[in-house]
Amino acid sequence: MLFDLQVHPRAGWTVVSVIGELDLAAAPRVRQAMLQVVTGGPGSRDTPERGPRVILDLGAVDFIDSSGLGIVLGAVKRVRAAGGTLRVVIKEPQVRQVFALTKLDQILLLAASVDDAVTAPTAPGPVGDEPRG
């Protein structure tokens, strides 16, 4: 249907790309994929010493609601607990708006593309998730 998920490596990062609408119906698959990446199951490419470096690519997500945001929050927590770094790619205005309204844009590095996410400097601001790894 209108939802798909792909995991692939990219320049030392694991990119989890979500396509479609990220709601309660899609949540379990994304949660499962993030869990695998963080715990080093198949799809994880991380060297143990620096923790997982993950890009959650929502560039092809054209709808997100609080169920989807819950997934993102859970992923941030899990990646940070493992000493890693999570960056999130966002393109659609609707998605950007929801991140702003819920202030998630203040605790996450949001990039406009996977390229930007890979090349972004490490500590973007006071509440960035970067200096944790």
Partner 1 sequence: MGEVQLEIPARVEYLVLARQVVAAAAAVEPRFRDERIDDLRIAVSEATTNAIEAHADLSRDERILIRCNLDDERIEVEVLDHAGGFDPGTAGAAPDAEAADRLEHERGLGLPLMKTLADETDISSTEGGTAVRLVVYTPHAQRPA
Binding positions for partner 1, rule: CB under 8 A: 1-2, 21, 23-25, 63, 65-67, 69-70, 73-74, 76-77, 93-94, 97-98, 101-104, 106-107, 127
Q: Which is nearer to partner 1, 98 or 114 (CB)?
A: 98
Rounded to an integer, what distance in angstroms lies between the CA atom of residue 110 and that of residue 105? 7
Helix (H, G, I), strand (E, B) or coil at 2: coil
What is residue 90's three-state secondary structure? strand
Selection from 23, 29, 31, 15 nearest residue 85 by Cα: 15
3-state secondary structure of 103: coil
User: Cβ of residue 25: shortest distance to partner 1, in angstroms?
Assistant: 4
Shortest Å distance, C-beta 104 to partner 1? 7
Residue placing its CB nearer to partner 1 in the complex, 97 or 122: 97
**Rounded least distance, CB 28 to partner 1, Å:** 9
